Amino acid sequence: MADEQIEIWNGRSGRAWVESQALLDDLFKRFEPLLVDAVAAVHARRVLDIGCGTGATSLAIARSLGADGACTGLDVSEPMLALARARAEQEGLRIRFIRADAQTYAFEPAAFDMLVSRFGVMFFDDPVEAFANLRRAAAPGAALRMIAWRSAAENAFMTTAERAAAPVLPNLPPRRPDGPGQFAFGNRSHVEHTLARSGWHAIDIVPIDIPCSVPADQLQTYVTRLGPVGQLLPELDEHTREDVIRTVTAAFDQYIQDGHVRFTAACWMLRAQNG
C-alpha cells in the first residue's frame, strides 16, 4: 500500500471512521451475514479479515467461530485497530489484530483456511503483489471471499456529496478511478485479471445489490466527517463550511424516506480459491 494511503488511514480519515463507527456499522450491517455465512459454508476455522477497520466483520466472524476457531484482523490504521481491540476485549472475543500492510506483511505461510474482506482491499498500489502475498498466507484450498464496490456510476449515493459541493469547492480533489480508492475494483475484468495474475483459481465475481439505510438525523454526521468533502471541511472558513454543509445536505433529500436515508449499494461478491 502506498505511503499516502497509510498516512490517510492513520490521520483524519482513520479518526473519522473511529468517531463514526456506530453509524458505519449500522449503515453496512447487511454485509456482515454474507461473510459470516461464507465462513460457515466452508467450515473455515482460521480466518483472516483483510482491512478490518474498527472490527465489525472480525467480531461477527469471531462470534460465529466460537472457541474452536480463530479470527485475525489486519489493517494499516492504528486508530481503527485500537477501537477494534477494545470492542473485542469488551465482548470477551479472542481476536488477534495486526497493524500491517497486507501487500508486504510477512505472513506465516499457509496460516489461514479462509480470507475475507468487507471494503478493505481496494487501496493497494500494486493489487497483484498484494493478492500474491495474501495467497502465500492461505492454506492449500483456502477460500477467498470479498465484498468490494462496483463503479462510481453505479453508486451515485456515494458521490452525491462531492458532486453537490463541486460548484462551491472547485478545487475538491477528484477521485482517481485507476488508482487506490473506494472504486478501484469497479471494473470486473480488471479484478478478475488481478486475481488470476496473483495465482488465485476458481475466480467468480457476482454483482450484489444491498439495501442500506441510516436514520436521517445521522445524515449531517455522515456528510461532515466522511468522504472527500468531510475530510476537506475542517480546512474551510466558517462561512464556506456552512455553505457546503447546507448545499450537500440538501442534495441527499432524494434519498430520505420514512425518516431514514436509504440507498442501494452496488457491489461485487468476489470468490476465489488457493489452488
Does residue 7 have a pLDDT over 90? Answer: no
Q: Which residue has the higher pLDDT, 66 or 170?
A: 66
Whole-prediction pTM value?
Answer: 0.95
Which among 130, 111, 115 has a CA at the least distance from the CA of 195? 130
Rounded to whole angstroms, how far apart are CA atoms 200 and 218? 40
Q: Where are the domains of the chain?
A: 3-152+178-213+265-273
Does residue 115 have a pLDDT over 70? Answer: yes
Query: Domain spanning 3-152+178-213+265-273 has what CATH number?
Result: 3.40.50.150
Rounded to whole angstroms, how far apart are CA atoms 21 and 85? 13
Question: What would the grid cell of residue 42 be?
Answer: 466452508
Q: What is the pLDDT of residue 231?
A: 87
Q: What is the pLDDT of residue 174?
A: 79
Whether 115 contacts 143, CB under 8 Å: yes
CA atoms within 13 Å, Cβ hemisphere of 96: 11
- Mean pLDDT, the chain, as a whole number? 94
Mean pLDDT value of segment 89-113? 97
17-33 core/surface letters (b: 16 or more CB in 10 A; e: else)? bbebbebbbebbeebbe
Q: What is the pLDDT of residue 171?
A: 80
Longest CA–CA span in the chain (Å) reads 58
Residue-by-residue DSSP string for 217-243: GGHHHHHHHSHHHHHHGGGS-HHHHHH
pLDDT, tens digit, for every residue of 71-88? 999 999 999 999 999 999
Which among 13, 20, 17, 6 has a CA at the least distance from the CA of 228? 13
CA atoms within 13 Å, Cβ hemisphere of 248: 30
- First CA to last CA across the chain, in angstroms? 25
pLDDT, tens digit, for every residue of 210-251? 999 999 999 999 988 998 899 889 989 999 999 999 999 999
Q: What is the pLDDT of residue 170?
A: 82
Does residue 2 have a pLDDT over 70? Answer: no
